[in-house]
């Protein structure tokens, strides 16, 4: 509305001006040498206007002709850019649905048309990754790393390629360079933290963790937990070489992570050595309420050196009362009761767990039968039940099972990954168990003779570690029977594979959105090994039962 009114006002003013010029009288005379022009004011005004219009028209034509080459070049450049962007779009879509040939074709077109476009470089690198051409991908990422606008993305791509090539030295250097470029880079900080942990450089890992919390990459709660984990790892490493430094580290760790089981166990040990029993017991009770664990029960039982077995039993019963009905409490009481030769009490607390026993429950019952009555037959029966019993919780991280706690996952390098839980492959299924919950007494009488049983139980109060069945030798010509008596719970060793040799620490591969990924099937190797072992055990036990039936 305002524009319409303004337009009408201007038209009115122009009309008034034209009327005023038309009403003027007199003449205008211009003389130049022999030239003389005499005209009226309206005619002069009209002629002046026509002259201005002609001048503007001529200037526009001349300027257009002068700038025509530049405009033509710009139009061609815009068309090339549009075609290049279209090729980039189609190439990224081809990468998204895994068409390597189309992605490679579009990458060539984009590189020819818009070679300096950051997205063209990214498309070229991703198509090379999709083809599996590491050299071409590295060249593309290196070109991106040399540019200021794509430096961080190029470094991340080079980091991923170094990880794939298992070049840890290069990966470390690239991650640290990325931290210099962008201290707030999450992937670089996590990678550098993983490298420090893999090299057991706990001081360097703590420094990076402090930078992360200062940059706002992690919140306070995560920072406190992870700092407690790193301090615990350092304390465990220094336990044998520098006990003072280990004590200081673990006491700081329990302040940041009061429910971390390894930290609480080690801290209670140091407190017990300095006669701070009450403080040690309070630490253990706090952690026990959060997560009952056999190491906590053992530390609580031995918090006062020199106590008798009955005193340790009474103390463990006090701890178990804080979590009534929990299986760990019952097994802790049973363990202490066996040590105190209170076999009736041990049977009483294990009674609710016998219907569906775990491996530790079965081994505890085997020890009770052997130590209380000297009944080797029943002990063998319970040992055989442990072969197919339910699995107990263990330290598990990313499908990897370890017999002790670790600060980082050897699969992904994730900090604080290990959790005390039942492995996924060990969860009960709907298939009927090979060995029933109630083993008939005849099995104990007809079972093959076990020669290694005295070695498995050298005295009345010693048993194999909880959660592991003793290795026994069975007199049988069938190899399946020998497999039946192998340990039921085949936990992976620290190497993650049979043989027990140390493997290098696994460094976390931080995947960028441009990373097509790595086959993750290898992460299930541990479960495959365990299932193979269980299959061997099942076959051996079937042979044992069939032999008994034929006899």
- Per-residue pLDDT reduced to its tens digit, 260-285: 999 999 999 999 999 999 999 999 99
**Alpha-carbon span 421 to 400, nearest angstrom:** 12
> For residue 374, what pLDDT is reported?
86
Beta strands across the sheet bearing 419-421 = 400-402, 394-397, 419-421
Find where tokens 């010509």 sit. 477
- Per-residue pLDDT reduced to its tens digit, 206-218: 988 988 888 888 8
Residue 287 has pLDDT above 70, yes or no: yes
Stretch 108-136: mean pLDDT, rounded? 86
Residue 317 has pLDDT above 90, yes or no: yes
Residue 351 has pLDDT above 90, yes or no: yes
Residue 409, classed as helix, strand or coil, is: coil
140 or 435, greater pLDDT: 140
For all residues of the chain together, what is the average pLDDT? 78
Beta bridge partners of 395: 402, 420
For 225, the token pair is: 């937990």
> For residue 349, what pLDDT is reported?
94
Residue 440 has pLDDT above 60, yes or no: no
Could you tell me the pLDDT band of residue 471, with boundaries at 50, 70 and 90? very low
Residue 200 has pLDDT above 90, yes or no: no
Q: How many Cα atoms sit within 13 Å of 345 on the Cβ side?
A: 18
Could you tell me the pLDDT band of residue 37, with boundaries at 50, 70 and 90? confident
> For residue 488, what pLDDT is reported?
33
Residue 482 has pLDDT above 60, yes or no: no
In the chain, pLDDT over 70 holds for what percent of residues? 77
For 5, the token pair is: 């009114």
Could you tell me the pLDDT band of residue 506, with boundaries at 50, 70 and 90? very low
Could you tell me the pLDDT band of residue 249, with boundaries at 50, 70 and 90? very high
Could you tell me the pLDDT band of residue 426, with boundaries at 50, 70 and 90? low
Residue 39, classed as helix, strand or coil, is: strand
Rounded-to-10 torsion of CA 455, 457, 459, 460: -160
Could you tell me the pLDDT band of residue 343, with boundaries at 50, 70 and 90? very high
> For residue 357, what pLDDT is reported?
92
pTM of the complete model = 0.60
Stretch 327-352: mean pLDDT, rounded? 94
In the chain, pLDDT over 90 holds for what percent of residues? 35
> For residue 14, what pLDDT is reported?
86
DSSP state of 434: S
């Amino acid at each position: 509305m305002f524009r319409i009114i303004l337009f009408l006002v201007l038209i009115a003013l122009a009309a008034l001006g034209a009327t005023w010029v038309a009403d003027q009288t007199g003449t205008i005379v211009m003389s130049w040498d022999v030239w003389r022009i005499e005209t009226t004011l309206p005619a002069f005004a009209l002629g002046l206007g026509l002259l201005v219009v002609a001048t503007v028209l001529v200037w526009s034509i001349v300027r257009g002709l002068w700038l025509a080459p530049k405009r033509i070049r710009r139009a061609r450049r815009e068309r090339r850019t549009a075609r290049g962007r279209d090729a980039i779009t189609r190439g990224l879509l081809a990468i998204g649905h895994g068409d390597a040939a189309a992605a490679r074709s579009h990458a060539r077109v984009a590189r020819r048309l818009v070679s300096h476009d950051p997205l063209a470089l990214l498309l070229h690198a991703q198509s090379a990754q999709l083809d599996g051409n590491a050299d071409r991908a590295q060249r593309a990422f290196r070109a991106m790393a040399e540019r200021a606008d794509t430096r961080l993305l190029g470094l991340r791509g080079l980091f991923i390629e170094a990880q794939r090539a298992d070049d840890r030295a290069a990966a470390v250097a690239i991650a640290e360079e990325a931290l210099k470029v962008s201290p707030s880079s999450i992937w670089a900080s996590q990678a550098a933290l993983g490298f420090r942990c893999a090299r057991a450089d706990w001081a360097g890992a703590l420094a990076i963790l402090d930078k992360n919390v200062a940059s706002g990459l992690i919140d306070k709660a995560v920072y406190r937990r992870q700092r407690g984990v790193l301090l615990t790892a350092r304390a465990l490493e220094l336990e044998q070489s520098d006990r003072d430094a280990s004590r200081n580290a673990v006491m700081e760790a329990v302040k940041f992570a009061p429910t971390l089981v390894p930290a609480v166990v080690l801290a209670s040990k140091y407190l017990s050595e300095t006669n701070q029993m009450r403080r040690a017991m309070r630490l253990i009770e706090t952690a026990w309420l959060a997560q009952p664990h056999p190491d906590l029960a053992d530390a609580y039982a031995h918090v006062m050196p020199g106590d008798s077995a009955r005193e340790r039993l009474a103390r463990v019963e006090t701890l178990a009362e804080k979590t009534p009905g929990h299986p760990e409490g019952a097994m802790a009481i049973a363990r202490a009761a066996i040590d105190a030769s209170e076999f009736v009490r041990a049977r009483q607390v294990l009674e609710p767990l016998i219907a569906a026993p775990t491996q530790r429950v079965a081994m505890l019952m085997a020890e009770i039968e052997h130590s209380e009555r000297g009944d080797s037959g029943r002990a063998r029966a319970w040992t055989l039940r442990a072969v197919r019993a339910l699995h107990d919780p263990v330290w598990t991280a990313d499908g990897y099972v370890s017999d002790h706690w670790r600060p980082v996952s050897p699969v992904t390098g994730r900090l604080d990954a290990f959790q005390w839980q039942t492995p996924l492959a060990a969860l009960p299924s709907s298939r009927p168990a090979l060995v029933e919950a109630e083993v008939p007494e005849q099995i104990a009488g007809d079972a093959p003779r076990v020669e290694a049983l005295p070695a498995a139980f050298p005295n009345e109060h010693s048993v194999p570690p909880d959660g592991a069945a003793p290795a026994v030798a069975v007199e049988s010509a069938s190899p399946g029977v020998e497999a039946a008596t192998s340990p039921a719970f085949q936990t992976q060793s620290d190497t993650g594979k049979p043989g027990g040799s140390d493997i290098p620490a696994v460094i976390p591969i931080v995947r960028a959105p441009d990373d097509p990924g790595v086959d993750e099937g290898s992460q299930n190797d541990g479960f495959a090994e365990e299932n193979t072992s269980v299959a061997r055990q099942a076959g051996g036990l079937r042979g044992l039962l069939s032999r008994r039936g034929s006899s």
